[in-house]
Structures are given as C-alpha cells and as structure tokens.
Structure 1
C-alpha cells in the first residue's frame, strides 16, 4: 500500500505507530493509499494530531487510531502507559477519540472535495493496540478494534481493514447498492487531506528557532518526495525560489530512516544553514571542500544541493567514492538550477551534466516558484532571461531601484529605507543586506549609522546564534538562502558586466521585498542586460 509520507518522521517516537506504518506499507494493495500524521512540535489544527492514519480504499475511508503500551480502564477513566514509567489519564476513550476525530476531519474534506458532496462514500474507524488486548466492552463492536493477538506484529492488519470495510459498508444499507470510491476520487481526497498531514517546518523557522510557523509543501514538491521510495537516483532541477534546498533537506530527513545520509553543497554558509535543520545522527552535512573529513566512508544516500556549482568530472569523481554503489548504482539526489548553465558557464561542464543525466533514473523539473513575489520574478526575468518558474508567492511591492550618487549617498538612502521598514513593523532579523562586492571591510553599510548593529550572516550561522539583528552577506555566501527583505548594495557597473549570475542570485534571495541601490552607470548596464535578455528570448523563439 502506498503511504504518504513514504518514510515515517524521525519525530514519531511511538513504536506502535511505527509498527502500524510498516504494516500498512507491507500490504500488497496498489489501489489504496494511507496517510500518516507527521508528529511535529506544533500543528495547524488539533484534529490532525488526533488521527494517526487515514486509509483510503475503493470501498471505504478508514480512520485508524493507534494506542501503544499498557492500557487500563478504571473508575470510568482511561489510563495509557507513556513508555517512561508514567501514565496519562483521560476521560475520553480511544473509540470515542477515533469517532470524534473521524467526524470532524470527514466533515472538513467532504466540503473540500467536489466528488464527495451528496455522495455516500463510506467512512469508518478502527482502533489498534499492537501491545495489548482489550477485553470486550459495550463501547465498541469487534469490527472497530484490532488487539495485539489478532494484530500479530502487523500481519493481521490487512484482514482487519477488510473486516472493517465489510462492517461499515453493511451498516443499515444494502452493501451492493453503495458506490465505490473511484481512483480519481481517491486522488482528490488525498490532495484534500495530505497538506494537513505533511506539514514540514520551514528552514527559516528551524534555523532561528524564533517562529512556530510551518510551510506546506506544494503538491508538486510532495509528488517529488513520493519518488524517493521507487527511484534510487533522482535529478531535480528548478530555478531560484522553487524550493530546492527546502526539498533537499526534507528528502535527507526521510532518507535517514533508511540509512546514513551525506548532504553536501559548495557553499559553507548554506551547509551550516542546513546542518541546523538536519540534526539526526545519521545525517552528515558538509560543504564540498571539507569532504576529506569523511574520506574512506561510504554513505547509503547522497544528496547534493546547488549541484550546478559542482558540475564537473573532478567533483563527480570525488562524490563517487562516498556513496555505496557509486554514482552508477548508488542512491542519490542532485538538486540543481540549470539557469546557471547560461548565466555562469565557466564552472559548468555540459558533458558532466550529460553523464549525470544519463545515469539518473528520474529527471524532473520544479516549476512553481514558492519564494519570490510576482514583481521580483518579473524583474529577474526581464534583466537575465532566466526561467524562475510560475510565481506562487502572490503579489508584493514593486522592486525599488534607488538612484544614488556615491557610497555616502547610498548609505544615507539605505538608512532611510531601513527606518521605514522597521517603523512599518518589519523585524530586523527579516532584513539582509546583500553586497555585490562582498567586501566587508569596504562595504557602504559601514557608513550607515546603524553599522554597529549589523551582523555578518555567515558569522551568525557558523556560531549557531539567534538572528535578532539586520544581517549582511556577500552574494556568494547568500546563495541558496533567503530572507523576507533584501537590500542589494555595493553594486557598480563593473559588477554587472559578464556577471548575470550575480544579478540572478542576488535578486532572487528576497521573498517579499527587494531594494536595489543603483550607482551611476548601473542603469545603463541594467538596460544592456535587459536588451541582451530580450535578444536571447527572441533567438530561442
């Protein structure tokens, strides 16, 4: 049976849930699908935490509640063993909990899925206690329950699901007259439920530990994660903002359930950033130039982010030695932005790309830009011609091009703009100054009145500090990263000549708002870039 997500979260501590997860996955049923609630520190809706599994078969939508450990019922109350010597006491029993959670969630997706409105798709619930057998009680019917003996380490789960389907479909109606749930309708139900069951913490929230917000994976990203189980070698391509790093980190976490994982990329800052997210013992995160630290080891899974920076045979040979089976026969994922092939061809070997593409079992593109507003996407495409995908972040403010006469004027205008942002309630940590020159000693930010309260982004990540202040980063250090507001400074005409990649990287770091200081000569250089982009576009047509 297909199960979403395909690997259980490392945060799921319950051995009983892990057992049921494995048992569902082992059922030889290609039509049905099960959804597991990924247990996170916070949930959007409490009911998500109350339904452990939803199984959608052609006959039934079955809600499964799992209770592990010891269970007792005394004086009208239920007592559940927690596995740490303590017990949890509740007045609501597992059958009432399963029933109430079923009705609440069922009502939700009946409204969300057109095919369920006015149709009698059958729903039911099943309580599973893998470790104990409950005595017969008036609170449940036998078909509502699967105890330890019948569960048999998971071998009895398939029969229990069939028995539950017969029971719930036969309650008060002619079973043969009830409609089945078509493959199309099952897919629609999965799409309606799955986002609630597969919330993944954003990189920003996990790194700073200042927010309890979570981002939903897009349907496109979820489909990519579903490929992990069936395809040992994957190549995922996409422009800036399509969620490659976010997706790579989640893929590493899921792969860690099946063995050791090496996550690498060219950037030290990005590697430090991802290391803060992926804290599992079985995952090693290192920048490429530190891979000698694991020389002689071989990992079960290799994940390479921003792989366009490493697209050469010398780099691939080094990676070959670090994964069981090598690149030809091992398990790996390469995430790359092919815009780099046009924007910075010097470090990109098309023959290496062809070799990797030929041995990759699945090559797929991410087409939805989840980071940048439509205004930012439009400006980047206008000046570079790069394909950023379909902007999904919605409307935002127009990109601000601030004409400045020199470095002192740039610093003064930057101060005024930062004042406006902070007065409007923007948090200082949500602002990053990205320097085109990357020269910390000579950046115009030093001339601002708030320079003493600006941190270098690479220093805050490397030291594991919480970011509570405005940060400064070079274009190189900020590659693969993002912030709500980006102010691009230290940009002169020379930086733009032959450096489309710098423009592309710098401008696409902003999620919501982009401010660019334009020194004399920069406007002309930008116009030249725009004309060149249009010429390339016309030639491509």
Structure 2
C-alpha cells in the first residue's frame, strides 16, 4: 500500500467532486508498493516558454525510490479532441460537451514545474542528488480505447485508460520505462525523503517582525499555501520579484528568505526603506549574524563613513555632482550616488541582497544596491513590493525584469478591515481572510480638540475596559503638523494615566503614537487612525490604504465628518 499525502478516508473520497480522481487515488493507494509516495492535488508555480509565471495544480505526483517521479493528470468522463483546431472537450454522462485545457500540455507543464522546484532547491543541492527519471502521463479512467487520443506528443506509453487501472503498478512501470534515460539514477529512500520535504513540508517561520501581542507569544505562523509555493519556487532562482498587497506576508517572506540564505552560509543584506521597520527587523534578527538588516539611508550613511575612513569622501563627491542643500536632495540623489561610489572603495560586499518595501525605492537607489553584490552576475537578489503602498512617490523601474510572483491572500487583517482597505487597492485581486472580527468604528468630530478626546477615550476603553495591553495599541496620525497633534493627545494621555511612546517602538506598557508613513511595514493588534482632511484635499488614498491595513484586529477611524464621509463612501461602494 502506497503512502498517501494527504491521507483521505473513504468518506472524504466519496465527497470528492471528481469521481475519476477519487478512483485513481484509491487504486494508487491500494495497488502501488509501500515504498511509493503519492501526493494528491499539489500546487505549483512555473514559467512557460515565454517566461510568464503560471500557477498550476498537479492532480497526482508519484515518487518512487527506484523508478523516479511521475506527474499524472486525471480526466474523467469522455473526451473529444479536434486536431484541426487543437481543441479539447470533455463529454459528461448526459452527452454535453465542455471545452477543457489540453491535458497533455497540463501534465507536461506540471513535470517542468516539478523539475523547477526540486533541482533549484537548496535541500536538493545539499543532498547532492543526481539526474533522475522524471515523466508525465494522462489517465482517462472512464475511457476504454486509447487509440483515438494518440498523436506525436501523446504516445500510448504515457496514456492510461480504464483497463490500465486493473494493474496500476505495471502501468506506472511502463510509463517510467518510456521516460527513463541511461544516465538517470534512482532516487533512493533518502532522495524520496528530500523530495517530500521540498514538496510537502509546511513552511513555518517565527514572527520576529510582528508587533507582538504579548512577549510570551512564541507560537509559529504557518504560511498560506500560496506563500509557501512562492517561497519554494524562488528558492531555485537567484533573482526574483514578489508582489502582493498589504497583509499578504511580503515582509515575513523577505525575512524567511534572508534566513534561508544565511543558513546556506551566505552573507545577506536585508534592506527596507522605513527606519522603524529596519530597527525592528534588526532586533528580531540580532542572533543571526550573517544577516545585516538596515534601512536604505542607514546603509548609505554607513558606507559613506567607511569610505571616508578608507581615505575617500564619497559624500563630498556626491554633493559636487549634485550641488545644493536640503533633505530631499540629500536623500534622493546625494546619498544614493555616494552609495554607488562606495563600491569603488570598499571591498566588502554581500552574497545576497533582499529588499523589502521596494515600492519606495527610486531609480537612483538601485544602481548602488546592485553594486553591493560581491558577484553581480550570480549573486542572489530578491525584491518584495506592493505597488499600491508607494507613499513616497518614487515608483521606479525594477532592476529585475522577470514577471513577479504574486501573493494573493491577506493573512494579517480581519475580514472587515481587509474589505475596507482594499477599496483603495489597485492591483491583482487579493483574497479576503477567513478570520472574522468586529466592525470598524467611525468617530467624527470637526474640532481638533474633540477628535483628540475621542482618540483618548478609545485608547482608554481598549486598555482599561477591554484588557488590551498598551503595547498592542497604536495611534497613527495623518494630520499636519504632527507635533501639534502629538501634543494634543499627550495632554489627554497624561490626564488619563496612559503612557505614550512618541515615535518610539516596542516600548512595554506604552501606546505607540506615530505617523502612518513611519509605521509602514509594521502592524498592531489595535489601531486608531487619526485622519486629517489633508488626505482628501491631496487625494492621498495610499495613506488611507496603508493606515487601515496596520490594524490586525481592531480599528477605529477618527476625523472630521467630511473626511470620514468621503472615506466611508469608498469603503461602502
């Protein structure tokens, strides 16, 4: 009896929509030898011949220590193929015809996706596996005659019909003989275990970058199936872009990718735009010495100082190239140019660079970043981006031209918060989370003092009545000037004996008071978003999107009647 993943009992098999897949599952389970591993309904990402990223699902993946690996596509009912137009149709029991994808092309794509993931995975390289037999086949359990289905790319050896299921072990051996090459080596028992680990093991990462609800929160976060697929596939690529909306786990994946590379003995630079996020990442990764986590401008400043110590003032040269003063000129042009110049002086580079928040990087940033790779041809370079979160208006052409791998599930926010935030999102569809939660609270007052009172009351309610820890609450301000509104709230917090940490993160027993822009990439269990009319007047919808998505479970929005009415019109459609 083969080992099945997942293991389905008879009740679950009877409940399957595809009777053909249920039947093939049962015959594999009952007839294949016990050294076989059979994986049902595995998901893949792969690139087609044009370099486009596609998502597919292998009906069955059969792994044998002696024969190799076989991707099997199963099609129930009758089928019809029109060679004149290359069209395939399924025929149900009532004789109705429906167009379907070419099952042989599907199976072939699944085979290539398997090779992509296995051969490129670090575990396979460490195992030192040799070339193995890898094939694909299509099974039609309800068809008795295979001859009408055959063609140049549809040899009888890779087609299974009803009669073949009487002895599926013999059929699998025949298929694998067709695919076997003289240079192929058996996987062996260890090889099967390695492949099982690559294709089936869940990916668990410690939440080093969450605003922790409790210091004792040490449970692990299981990535969604979609995230796990992306992380596995990019594991075999030296350069990749990962795209996703707020809450889809980009930063979580960026950290995990950096840790995987460090575990391989590589020196890794983990880079982001926001200083508070960089500090948080550095704190969480302080026990991982091979990873250097910094904000972009922290890195620029550090490299400029090191170059000066080596005898070359690259910042002075950058200032000569871009004369003038002011923070914008310094941050946008002078420091980026100084970073690029530092590569001419400093020999120290990185084996891998991982960039989070790439939407806030401009064209001027990327040259210096790429030059940090010790080997610019074969160095590892990964970019994580949300095109909808570009608060700093610096959207640039990315240095990696491949189509991005996309994350499609929000795994941070509750459904009410997700539904509100994604009204402001422009991009690929992001699935709503299954986690339900309380509705968003909207509080409108037209006077600043009344708004500050409302913010203070909400914070007091959460902490002193509902038992939320102070460090799990954040008040995010979009109003300007921020210092004035900080002061308004500080006065009320002092009166209510609530301790505020103004732009100081991870302070125990303190409520964080900060701006939305500075809090990008971070999250909190409970958020008060203090909205200013500036957002409406300047149409800063990205700020609203980012602000709303910072709250994991509880969200209250405070502002003028005008601002809240406008935002709620977006949210409610």
TM-score (norm 1): 0.59
C-alpha distance in structure 2 between counterparts of 1:348 and 1:155, whole Å: 41
Whether 1:271 aligns to 2:313 is: no
Task: Determine whether 1:212 maps to 2:262.
Answer: no
Q: 1:416 to 1:388 in 2, by over 3 A?
A: farther
Larger Rg: 2
Contact 1:298 1:322 in 2 (8 A): yes
Name which of 248, 252, 265 aligns with 2:254: 248
Aligned to 1:20: none
Aligned: 1:430 with 2:472: yes
Q: Aligned partners of 1:470 and 1:366: how far apart in 2?
A: 31
Q: Matched residue of 1:521: which SS? A: helix
Distance in 2, matches of 1:406 and 1:260, equals: 53
Q: Indicate the SS of the match to 1:485.
A: strand
Find the partner of 1:456 among 501, 504, 511.
501
Q: CA offsets per residue over residues 112-169 of structure 1, 9 Å max, x none? A: 9857789457768xxxxxxxxxxxxxxxxxxxxxxxxxxxxx99999xxxxxxxxxxx
Contact 1:380 1:507 in 2 (8 A): yes
In the TM superposition, 1:45-84 aligns within 5 A as none
Structure 1: distance between partners of 2:422 and 2:209 = 26
Could you tell me which residue of structure 2 aligns to residue 72 of structure 1?
none
| Residue in structure 2 matching 1:487, options 512, 528, 537 | 528
1:428 Cα deviation from its structure 2 partner: 2.0
Q: What's 1:221 paired with? A: 227
Contact 1:377/1:388 (<8 A) preserved: no
Name the residue aligned to 2:489.
445
**Pair 1:415 & 2:456 matched:** yes
Which of 223, 248, 262 is the equivalent residue of 2:269? 262
Q: 1:377 to 1:117 in 2, by over 3 A?
A: same
Cα contact 1:207–1:273 (8 A) shared by 2: no
The residue aligned with 2:339 is none
Which residue of structure 2 aligns with residue 319 of structure 1? 369
Distance 1:330 1:385 in 2: 32
CA contact (8 A) 1:485 1:513 kept: yes
Instruction: Flag structure 1 segments of 5+ consecutive residues without an equivalent.
Output: 1-57, 62-105, 125-153, 159-174, 535-541
Compared CA separation, residues 528 and 402, structure 1 to 2 (3 A): closer
1:320-399 → structure 2 map (5 Å cutoff): 320-326=370-376, 329-340=378-389, 346-349=393-396, 352-353=397-398, 356-358=399-401, 360=402, 363-383=404-424, 389-399=430-440
Q: Would you say 1:285 and 2:293 are equivalent positions? A: yes
Q: Give the Å deviation of 1:210.
A: 3.0
Q: 1:306 maps to what in 2?
A: 357
Query: Aligned partners of 1:370 and 1:218: how far apart in 2?
Result: 8
Structure 1 residues 498, 277: closer, same or farther in 2, change over 3 A? Answer: same
Cα 1:222–1:273 change in 2 (3 A) is: same
CA separation of 1:402 and 1:188: change in aligned 2, threshold 3 A: farther
Relative distance call for 1:289 and 1:524 in structure 2 (3 A) is same
In structure 2, the gaps of 5 or more residues are 14-21, 36-125, 131-166, 177-192, 304-341
Change (3 A) 1:332 1:338: same
Residues 139-178 of structure 1: pairs in structure 2 closer than 5 A = none
What is the match of residue 52 of structure 1? Answer: none
Pair 364,192 (structure 1): closer, same or farther in 2 beyond 3 Å: closer
1:216–1:117 CA distance, 2 compared to 1 (3 A):
farther
Deviation by residue 1:389-420 (Cα, 9 ceiling, x = unmatched): 11225221111111123222223222332333
- Give the Cα–Cα distance (whole angstroms) in 2 for the partners of residues 425 and 192 of structure 1: 42
Residues 302 and 331 in structure 1, CA contact (< 8 A), matched pair in contact too: yes
Helix, strand or coil: the match of 2:436? Answer: coil
- Cα pair 2:460 2:498 within 8 Å, conserved: no
For the Cα contact (< 8 Å) 2:277–2:520, is it kept in 1?
yes
State the number of aligned residues.
Answer: 368
* Cα root mean square deviation, aligned: 4.0
Cα contact 1:205–1:213 (8 A) shared by 2: no
Further displaced range: 240-249 or 517-526: 517-526
Rounded to whole Å, the distance in 1 between the matches of 2:127 and 2:355 is 38
Secondary structure of the residue that 2:527 maps to in structure 1?
strand
Q: Aligned in 2, Cα 1:237/1:308: closer, same or farther, shift over 3 Å?
A: same
8 Å CA contact retained: 1:205, 1:211: no
How far is 1:507 from its partner? Answer: 0.8
The 3 A distance-change label for structure 1 pair 389 and 156 is: closer
Would the alpha carbon gap of residues 386 and 441 (structure 1) be closer, same or farther in structure 2, given more than 3 Å must change? Answer: farther
Q: Is the 8 Å Cα contact of residues 404 and 520 (structure 1) preserved in structure 2? A: yes
Q: For 1:155 and 1:478, locate their aligned partners in 2 and report how far apart those are by CA, in whole Å.
A: 42
